[in-house]
Chains A and B, each alone.
Chain A
Amino acid sequence: MTIPPIIEIENVSRRFVKDLDIAELTARKLGAKVEPQTVHAVDSVQLVIQPGEVLGLVGESGCGKSTLGRMVAGLLNPSDGRILYRGHDVAGLKGDKAREAALRIQMVFQDPMSSLNPRLRVRDIIGEAPRVHGIVPKAEIAAYVEDILEQVGLDPSTIKRYPHQFSGGQRARIGIARALAVKPDFLVCDESVASLDVSIQAQVLNLFIRLRQDFDLTYLFISHDLGVVEHISDRIAVMYLGRLVELGEAEDLLARPNHPYTTALVDEIPTFETGKKIYSAIKGEIASPLRPPPGCHFHPRCPHAHDRCRVEVPVLKEVAPGRYSACHLNDDVARRQTFAATPA
């Protein structure tokens, strides 16, 4: 492809280490076996995001999707690996270039109430960054903020209000407006519609779809709700316990999931069934990231698990054009051929 990718995530891992507290240090001095605990929140993830696309990232709580999003947005540094923005390693950039990259990638958070300063007026919440970075001359800030408010569907006359004077859906719009104010081309949306009521969620999703066209944006859209992600995304990446387990075109992935975990997730999207639905749950729960199971992380819950899954980590392999899956079952030639032959 001639257009370079906007974001390249190269083998990125992130570990969190919980240091020993004083009681544990004392216990260790006395000979107890206490080790600092390490959480592998993100484990060797490889992803490429093309300009203009919407990549949906799904997984259950604790799977590392938010950590990955935060690394892409530059709020956390990877423990290993690199994140490239338009071919440049973000961590390695200095001075103006670093600031430029940081401004071009913005984040929209889940809970607008905890990410908007309650003591600032909307004018300052949205206007501060463009003023500080000299994107807009000081005299034109008010007009600029009003313009952005209108873009996200808020009344420009609310410019002097505080966040608590808005409803949940309006606050979500302020969060989006703040991200847009510095003219980004890439947005990381972390559960940005999760806390909203259904009717408001639809409004905000529509806003995301419209803004993407108007501003030529690329999204990394993180959510636990596969229904929402499917609607907005071009491609979907599924994470489980820090690892990427499946990646593919959105519609295709939902129509014929390859990984057993994706299959389970797709089966459990609540749909408007007329008549009673029999919920056939997958067994067990997501394991603690402190003690992930060996081999394939999903094997204790997987209906197809065999001996190999318990010891060997499956690699993400291309199983059909544009579709990647990390499952040992795909090494079975017959299964792979059946899958490839399944119409999308």
Chain B
Amino acid sequence: MTKLLEIRDLHTHFFTRDGIAKAVDGVSLSLERGQILGLVGESGSGKSVTGFSILGLVDAPGRVVSGQVLFDGTDLIAGGERLLRTLRGKRIAMIFQDPMMTLNPVLRIDTQMIETVRAHEDVSRDEALRRSREALVSVGISSPDERLETYPHQFSGGMRQRVAIAIALLHKPDLIIADEPTTALDVTIQAQILSEVQALCANSGTALIWITHDLAVVSGLADHLAVMYAGRIIEEGPTRDVIAQPMHPYTKGLIESVPRGKKHGALLSQIKGMTPSLLRLPSGCKFRPRCPRATAACEIEPALDVMDQGRRVRCVHPHTENYPEVLAK
């Protein structure tokens, strides 16, 4: 069986006046049906652009320069805009960070949902409305009939994001790309949405790419993690293994800098320096200037090496001490 999604050596560059920013620089990823992938990185790491590139949503001055995005065996990059139009919202849906940007502020929810249903399927308005109501119920919105007749501004932030998710679900897509959908929400609302998304994916077999900067959020949700830094994937593997033993010094640093369950009041371990500008990347390993393990060998860019148990890591000096005995515990 073919993989649902296979990204091969994707390059998306932004051609700015100051130079070429390689936002996505050779990313390869694959996703099975029903799998949840957490795509993690800090701002500017290229995680969102990767998501946008799949759906052909990269705006000028950005462009997918090379690579393949195979969705169910078909290359979306070669297929171009015409192919993408038949897939967007139908078989691949997207959830954005700010639902106010997705929803049209001057149209009622029912209008927007019916439009989405009928864009891809020739069904009656009544049937479209019935499906819209069903979708709202599935994301935990009570009294859907009243809600359908309201405008986006009448909803709270959490409710709006639910509506956006409901719209994404209308056509029972094979793949949902979610770009930081809970970042702007309160923790209690975030937990509600996570629990609903988790149940929906489990019930419908929808695959999900969850793009986030928050490793802690995604660690409880995803099957598989890919960590990005400066446009490249630097570590990848099953969530449990990556969290239990991060191999790349950056992943390790990220996990250790989250203040949870640490000695109260003590200094957090921190990654020194800051995320480099994509226009002025260091030579060799891009993490080299911030890395505690860097040596002269790091001046040559390491490849994404395949390790045991489906792990990949792009590092000259990975943390492989006692691996995989650590995982056996």
Contacts and interface: CB of A to CB of B under 8 A. Distances in A.
Interface in A239-258: 250-251
Contacts of B158: 285
B212 to A, nearest CB: 10
Interface in A243-296: 250-251, 264-265, 267-282, 285-286
- Closest 8 CB pairs between A and B? A277-B220, A202-B257, A279-B195, A231-B259, A281-B192, A270-B216, A60-B186, A197-B42
Contacts of B253: 199
Interface in A131-177: 167-170
Interface stretch (B4-12, B108-116, B267-275): B267-275
Given A234-B265, A279-B220, A286-B188, 4 more contacts: A225-B187, A230-B260, A271-B219, A281-B191
A209 B265 contact: yes
A156 B258 CA distance: 29
A319 interface: no
Contacts of B195: 278-281
Contacts of A123: none
Interface in B38-94: 42-43
A199 B260 contact: no
Nearest to B220: A277
26 contacts: A60-B187, A167-B275, A197-B213, A199-B42, A199-B257, A202-B259, A202-B268, A231-B259, A231-B260, A231-B268, A234-B265, A265-B188, A270-B216, A271-B216, A271-B220, A271-B260, A271-B261, A272-B260, A275-B240, A277-B219, A278-B195, A280-B195, A281-B191, A281-B192, A282-B188, A286-B188
A250 B260 CA distance: 13
Contacts of B239: 274
B260 A269 contact: yes
B191 A198 contact: no
A23 B43 CA distance: 45
Given A274-B240, A276-B198, A197 B220 contact: no
Contacts of A38: none
A271 B217 CA distance: 7
Interface residues of A, number: 48
A205 interface: yes
Interface string B239-265: 110011000000001110111111011
A154 to B, nearest CB: 12
A270 B221 CA distance: 10
Interface residues of B, number: 47
Interface of B: 42-43, 156-159, 186-192, 194-195, 198, 213-217, 219-221, 239-240, 243-244, 253-255, 257-262, 264-271, 274-275
B178 to A, nearest CB: 15
Contacts of B214: 198, 270
Given A279-B191, A279-B194, A282-B188, A197 B270 contact: no
B280 to A, nearest CB: 13
Contacts of A225: 187
Residue among B186, B188, B214, B239 with most chain A CB within 10 A: B188
B259 A285 contact: no
Contacts of B191: 267-268, 279-282
B257 A268 contact: no
B244 A197 contact: no
A202 B186 CA distance: 21
Nearest to A228: B259
Contacts of A201: 257
B154 to A, nearest CB: 11
